[in-house]
Amino acid sequence: MSVMHFDKDNFEKEVLLSSHPVIVDFWAPWCAPCRMLAPILEEAAAEAGPNVIVGKVNIDEEMDLASRYSVMSIPTIVLFRSGKEAARLVGVQTKEDILHMLED
């Protein structure tokens, strides 16, 4: 599955109301660690399977979403289950670390 792009218009429907776990990467185009994480996130999305949604929020374009979820550093990866934050990772992560979030 490819990585989706979330914004204020689709965040509620695609993330908060999803019946599947959703991994959200809060990032910015100018952030070098965020760019390093991008291919790792793509791999994690491919391996996670069809019952997991993976997407990104550009914090430069969606400052309100970043603020609502207290994103202080980027990249920040948040796992949502049933519309609630279930886990959080900050900084560049391995594919295994990202997929491990789904096991808890």
Choose the catalytic residue: 34, 45, 77, 99. 34
Higher-confidence position of 50 and 57: 57
- Spot the catalytic one: 31, 86, 87, 90: 31
Looking at residue 65, what is its pLDDT? 97
Which of 67, 74, 65, 81 is closest to 7 using CA atoms? 65
**Tell me, what's the pLDDT at 53?**
95
Write out the DSSP string of 5-62: E--TTTHIIIIIT-SS-EEEEEE-TT-HHHHHHHHHHHHHHHHH-TT-EEEEEETTT-
30 pLDDT more than 80: yes
CATH 3.40.30.10, applies to 4-99: yes
Is residue 93 within 8 A of residue 38, CB to CB? The reply is no
Please give the Cα distance from 41 to 36 (Å, whole number).
Answer: 9
* Domain spans, the chain: 4-99
Output phi, psi for 92, to 5 deg.
-65, 135
Average pLDDT, the chain: 95
Is 28 an annotated catalytic residue? no
16 counts as catalytic? no
- Over range 95-102, report the average pLDDT: 95
